[in-house]
Amino acid sequence: MRIKKYILLIIVSTTVLACEKMEDIQLSETIFIEDLYAPGLPVYSEWGYNTFGAYIDRKAFVSTNYDLPAKIIVNDDILHLILRGRMGIEDVDLKFSIKGYSPATNFDLTELDNTTINLKEAGHSVTLKIGNETNVMQLIEGELIIKRVQRLYVDSELSRTIMSGYFNFKTFFGNEPIAVSYGRFDLGIGYENFYNY
């Protein structure tokens, strides 16, 4: 009888641990729901769908199921938000570097809730990499709107931070003006994609 209870305890413990690990994996998955009014882009949401998208001129640049869609890297007092995805068959990285923000953990990102950042202000920059060509953008105009930052609790435990908002800017790429428009993001930021060093 004692052996049966022991085996039952092992099975229950393994099931609970497996469910917890599965939940963590599910929270980091990308859920893409297409915006009917902006074909090719995800709808704007604040649920931690781990998606982003924007038009680069008329081409959709979006997150994928293959790449980690976002990383936040904090160095000194500069926060770097890196969006990694694809535009057609090309790999694209878009990096916003924002001076004056240095959260110690992903949960401290809530200080950015309801913040609008003028990307042309001193200390801010945008870098765009399409394929193998990387350029620090010479901006004509642009803004990054961090509309909502919220902490996600799972079973009363702090799990990750959800950061949602919009972006757009006009710039030059290859000596030609381009517009990055209808940008939106809904990102789950946790252990695997937040770095402060």
Residues 5-17: pLDDT tens digits?
A: 444 444 444 444 4
Q: How many domains does the chain have?
A: 2
Q: Are residues 181 and 124 in the same domain?
A: yes
pLDDT over 90 at 21, yes or no: no
Q: Are residues 71 and 39 in the same domain?
A: yes
| Tens-place pLDDT, residues 67-126 | 899 999 999 899 999 999 999 999 999 999 999 999 999 999 999 999 999 999 999 999
Q: Phi and psi at residue 165, in whole multiples of 5°?
A: 175, -160
- For residues 6 and 83, membership in a common domain is answered with no
Q: What percent of the chain has pLDDT over 90?
A: 79
**DSSP secondary structure code for residue 34 in this structure:** B
Residues 189 and 170 in one domain: yes
| pLDDT score for 16 | 45
What pLDDT, on a 0 to 100 scale, did the predictor assign at position 139?
97
Whether residues 35 and 116 share a domain: the answer is yes
Q: Are 85 and 182 found together in one domain?
A: yes
Supply φ then ψ for residue 101, to 5 degrees.
-125, 125
Task: Evaluate whether 85 touches 67 at the Cβ level (below 8 Å).
Answer: yes
Are 111 and 152 in a shared domain?
yes
Domain region containing 177: 31-196
Average pLDDT on 152-167 reads 94
pTM: 0.85
> Are 98 and 126 within 8 A, CB to CB?
no
Mean pLDDT over each residue of the chain, to the nearest integer: 89
User: How far is Cα 145 from Cα 113, in angstroms, rounded to an integer?
Assistant: 9
Same domain, residue pair 87 and 163 = yes
Q: Same domain for 68 and 90? A: yes
pLDDT at position 1 is 54
Q: Say yes or no: 43 and 23 in one domain.
A: no
Q: Is 164 or 65 the better-scoring residue by pLDDT?
A: 164
Please check whether residues 106 and 136 belong to one and the same domain. yes
In the predicted model, is pLDDT for residue 165 greater than 60?
Answer: yes
Which residue type sits at 74? V
| pLDDT for residue 26 is more than 60 | no
d(CA 179, CA 27): 32
Once rounded to an integer, what is the mean pLDDT over residues 164-169? Answer: 98
Residue 59: its pLDDT value, please?
A: 97
**Whether residue 144 sits in one domain with residue 54:** yes
What contacts 153, CB < 8 A, 6 or more positions away?
159
